[in-house]
Amino acid sequence: MIGVGIVGYGYWGTNLVRNFSDANGSRVVAVCDLITSRFPALQARYPTIKTTSDYRDLLKNSEIDLIVVATPVSSHYEIALHALQAGKHVLVEKPMTATVAEGEQLLEEAAKRNKMIAVDHTFVYTGAVRKIEELVRGDHLGQLYYYDSVRVNLGLFQHDVNVLWDLAVHDLSIMDYILGVQPRAVAATGVAHIAHQPEDIAYLTCLFDNNLIAHFHVNWLAPVKIRRTLIGGDRQMIVYDDLEPSEKIKVYDKGVTLNPTPEGVYQMRVGYRTADMWAPQIPTTEALQVEALQLIECLEQGKTPITDGKVGLRVVRILEAATKSLAQHGQPIAL
């Protein structure tokens, strides 16, 4: 039985408490937050959970094996570092850290102390993303052409990080899981429209080897909510619309055909191929429950989680480079 301590009891903290309480193999020992007004309701529902406003109480508690850090990103590094130093395993909210340097130090500390460091890339544990990964790895799409994602809506402004760190982090974590390769350069543009606030709209391109291109459009000021990803390959193509109540994934058997012309290879005629569309059924288990169970299994069996610290660091590396490019009006930055 893994004892869990949760630092940060905001909106997401509620889900963390529920899922680590429900999961076979873990129990929530204690919860910490600076704002204590929501503790009575928590204790009414979970009478055995201890509460505190000082996260150091959790680090000292020998019943706790795993610290979950669900605070604003600026404090991730300090809390996670102290937790590792106190001999705890750590699960950190996304983005894992505010800088690459912080992330590297956490990984180093975890390795030194032989502790797990994982990042809460929740989308990776959804049925939809796992199904897409299965299709891509199973080579149903063939050679990949592009990965294109749009995540826009009205609100909610984050005051400490720009829209890339708030919204694109979801798509970068999904892309990292599905593609399994790293971009070699990024270029980003974006602007801030509200005084004293970070960039609220941004466009990020990731360039890979083999002519693979990825692009992310994120926006806090859009009148409609869009969550749509297109993934194109030379065999099949996927449309993933996370707002669809059913049929979130549509697989199109479409593409280009090349036919030689009398004039020879430099004059190949581009044709088009279209066939059936297919929407695979998707398991609806709550992603955070799948994630909790996987982390517990990893801790029990000494395995590495899918979303370990290296994954978290890869995503932070892209975000850091993108922010640098954005400040330079789109100047490409090599990774």
Euclidean distance between CA atoms 34 and 136, whole angstroms: 43
117-120 and 89-93: which strand pairing?
parallel
Shortest distance (Å) from residue 59 CB to a copy of itself: 29
133 vs 308, beta carbon nearer a copy of itself: 133
190 vs 309, beta carbon nearer a copy of itself: 190
Shortest distance (Å) from residue 32 CB to a copy of itself: 22
Dihedrals φ, ψ of 238, to 5°?
-120, 140
DSSP 308-319: BHHHHHHHHHHH
Shortest distance (Å) from residue 22 CB to a copy of itself: 12
Shortest distance (Å) from residue 255 CB to a copy of itself: 8
1 vs 256, beta carbon nearer a copy of itself: 256
Shortest distance (Å) from residue 103 CB to a copy of itself: 25
Shortest distance (Å) from residue 212 CB to a copy of itself: 8
**Nearest-CA neighbor of 106 among 74, 79, 73?**
79
Shortest distance (Å) from residue 154 CB to a copy of itself: 6
12 vs 146, beta carbon nearer a copy of itself: 146
Shortest distance (Å) from residue 185 CB to a copy of itself: 6
Euclidean distance between CA atoms 101 and 91, whole angstroms: 18
Residue 282 near residue 16 (C-beta atoms within 8 A): no
86 vs 150, beta carbon nearer a copy of itself: 150
Euclidean distance between CA atoms 205 and 192, whole angstroms: 19
127 vs 305, beta carbon nearer a copy of itself: 127
68 vs 231, beta carbon nearer a copy of itself: 231
Q: Give the number of other Cβ atoms within 10 Å of residue 52's Cβ.
A: 17
Euclidean distance between CA atoms 259 and 262, whole angstroms: 10
Euclidean distance between CA atoms 107 and 310, whole angstroms: 7
Dihedrals φ, ψ of 308, to 5°?
-80, 180
44 vs 62, beta carbon nearer a copy of itself: 44
Q: Which residues of 161-193 are buried (b: 16+ CB within 10 A; e: fewer)?
A: bbbbbbbbbbbbbbbbbbbeeebeebbbbbeee
Q: Which residues of 14-51 are buried (b: 16+ CB within 10 A; e: fewer)?
A: bbbbbbbbebeebebbbbbbeeeeebeebeeebeebbb
